[in-house]
Amino acid sequence: MTRVSVGERPSHSPEEALRAKVKDEIRYRMRQVRRAIPEVARAARCARIHATLFATDEWKSAKTVMLFASMRAEVDTFTMESRARDEGKTIACPRMTEDLSELDARLWEPGVVPVEQGRMAPEPPTDAPSIDARTIDLIIVPAVAMDERGARIGYGRGFYDRFLSRTPHAKRIAVAFDFQLIAEVPETEGDERVDMLITDARTIRCTRS
């Protein structure tokens, strides 16, 4: 029987199964490396990412920006939330639907701190107002690994890929530490690429295909 990782899309061929397995291995190793970074070093790397992001035309022109609520060793997005609020932007934050199948865009209201509720990531409360995904100008996308084509590896459930497929109009920027950039992501069916990668050492504009 072909092994399919929990949450990974069912494979339709031996090659697809192999790619899914390699993605699992990259995901595990990269998360281990990311956890090993000292907090001071992580903060310095995040500051460089923030400075680059805030200088982009995509950030400056966005009226509504969607941010994930960072946790543990991820790139800090709470600084992004504060900056967006200071600039008068509307801030969306993803929340999983009640059947845990999709992401919804919810309003990240002032003074609200998204909370992890055993559903993979910190989320806005259940009563947070919905945001029409068609109004989102910029989506800041998490990544465990990524390559220069704009392909990325997330956490393995495909939530962001499905959400991105429903919001093709929005600009997509993946933020990650420079060591998370790899030679080539083994893409699998349904993967969505981003328009730009920002790390603490470089900015790469991609051609989405």
CATH of the domain at 29: 3.40.50.10420
Query: Is 138 part of a structural domain of the chain?
Result: yes
* 4 belongs to a structural domain: no
Residue 157 is assigned to a structural domain of this protein: yes
- Is 1 contained in some domain? no
Q: Each residue of 150-168: pLDDT tens digit? A: 999 998 888 999 999 999 9
pTM confidence score:
0.90
- Quick: pLDDT tens for 108-120: 999 999 998 877 7
171 versus 120: the higher-pLDDT residue is 171
Q: Which domain holds residue 47?
A: 14-205
Tell me the CA end-to-end span of the chain in Å, nearest whole number: 33
Q: Report if residue 7 sits inside a domain.
A: no
Write out pLDDT tens, residues 61-78.
999 999 999 998 999 999
Domain count, the chain: 1
Position 1 scores a pLDDT of 29
Tell me if 108 sits within 8 A of 66, measured CB to CB: no
The pLDDT value given to residue 101: 86
User: Would you say residue 12 has pLDDT above 90?
Assistant: no
Residue 5 lies in a domain: no
Cα gap 140→62, rounded to integer Å: 11
Looking at the DSSP assignment, which residues form a beta bridge with residue 116? Answer: 122
What H or E segment, with its residue span, contains residue 198? strand 196-198
